[in-house]
């Protein structure tokens, strides 16, 4: 039934952590996270997100040398952003020593007590974003080797994100029962939210990867 689109479902999980030192008033989830500008506060931030891509696409062109796919992806986001403040409170007191002969407090020393306060705030978000799906493959003159490219790109102006990968594909097994491919590539992903459930992000993940893909 060639008029029906192909279906592709994939799952991805991403996580990143960071640390900074606040020296001015800051806000997090519409709350004041740091008020006392005279005191530095160490802050740990952790961003965790997972999403499932539901893609419907058509193979507009395909033969042994070249293929091109075009479709739409619904990216189902489920993530959280946590902020942890670490504040050291220092209390100083004096311990007086009584001199029986002088009948007076003539000496003292300081007692310093330090207490560590940890405050944690968290934002959770869940949304489905529409994306444009594009994939292509070009066979090389070398036997069983081809170049591939695949990407999803946001279709909403208020958020900006993309996810693409390019690389080489080598056919390990190619028969009627199963295709087994070895992939060596580079993947980059950008997640920039503008007020998604009070969440603002500007993150980029990128790096090389190796994968084995089986088609049945």
Rounded CA-CA distance 3/14 in Å is: 35
Sorted by sequence, the CB contacts under 8 Å of residue 163 that are 6+ apart come out as: 12, 131, 151, 152, 153, 187, 188, 189, 190
In Å, what is the CA distance from 32 to each residue of 24, 27, 78?
11, 4, 25
Q: Tell me the HSE value of 38 on the side-chain side, using a 13 A CA sphere.
A: 0
Rounded CA-CA distance 90/60 in Å is: 68
Judged against a pLDDT cut of 70, whether residue 143 lies above it is answered with yes
The pLDDT tens digits of the residues spanning 162-204 come to 899 999 999 988 887 888 999 999 999 988 777 665 566 777 8
Q: Tell me the HSE value of 170 on the side-chain side, using a 13 A CA sphere.
A: 9
The pLDDT tens digits of the residues spanning 47-103 come to 788 889 999 999 998 887 899 999 999 989 887 767 676 655 555 555 555 555 555
Instruction: For residue 58, give the 3-state DSSP assignment.
Output: strand
The pLDDT tens digits of the residues spanning 100-130 come to 555 555 555 555 554 454 455 556 667 788 9
Phi-psi region of 195 (alpha: psi -120 to 50; beta: other; left: phi over 0): left
Give the helix/strand (H/E) hosting 212.
Answer: strand 203-215
Residue 40 φ/ψ, nearest 5 degrees: -75, 145
**Token pair 């066979």 is at which residue?**
139
This prediction has a pTM of 0.70
Judged against a pLDDT cut of 60, whether residue 141 lies above it is answered with yes
Q: What pLDDT, on a 0 to 100 scale, did the predictor assign at position 94?
A: 52
**Selected residue with higher pLDDT from 132 and 45:** 132
Q: What pLDDT, on a 0 to 100 scale, did the predictor assign at position 111?
A: 52
Sorted by sequence, the CB contacts under 8 Å of residue 47 that are 6+ apart come out as: 14, 15, 16, 17, 79, 80, 81, 82, 201, 203
Q: What pLDDT, on a 0 to 100 scale, did the predictor assign at position 17?
A: 80
Q: Tokens for 7, please give them.
A: 């279906």
Please state which of the ranges 29-38, 95-104, 133-142, 144-153 shows the lowest mean pLDDT.
29-38
Q: What pLDDT, on a 0 to 100 scale, did the predictor assign at position 44?
A: 76
**Selected residue with higher pLDDT from 86 and 38:** 86
Q: What pLDDT, on a 0 to 100 scale, did the predictor assign at position 45?
A: 73
**Selected residue with higher pLDDT from 98 and 148:** 148
């Amino acid at each position: 039934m060639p008029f029906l689109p192909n279906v592709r479902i994939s799952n991805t999980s991403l996580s990143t952590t960071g640390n900074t030192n606040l020296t001015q008033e800051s806000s997090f989830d519409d709350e004041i996270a740091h008020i006392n500008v005279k005191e530095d506060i160490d802050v740990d931030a952790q961003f965790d997100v997972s999403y499932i891509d539901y893609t419907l696409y058509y193979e507009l062109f395909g033969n042994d040398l070249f293929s091109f796919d075009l479709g739409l992806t619904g990216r189902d986001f489920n993530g959280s952003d946590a902020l942890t403040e670490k504040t050291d409170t220092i209390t100083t007191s004096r311990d007086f020593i009584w001199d029986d002969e002088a009948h007076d407090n003539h000496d003292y020393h300081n007692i310093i007590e330090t207490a560590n306060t940890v405050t944690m705030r968290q934002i959770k978000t869940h949304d489905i974003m529409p994306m444009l799906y594009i994939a292509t493959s070009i066979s090389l003159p070398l036997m069983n080797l081809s170049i591939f490219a695949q990407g999803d790109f946001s279709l909403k102006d208020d958020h900006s994100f993309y996810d693409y990968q390019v690389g080489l594909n080598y056919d390990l097994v190619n028969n009627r029962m199963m295709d087994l491919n070895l992939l060596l590539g580079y993947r980059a992903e950008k997640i920039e939210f503008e007020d998604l459930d009070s969440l603002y992000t500007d993150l980029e993940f990128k790096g090389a990867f190796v994968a084995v893909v089986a088609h049945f």
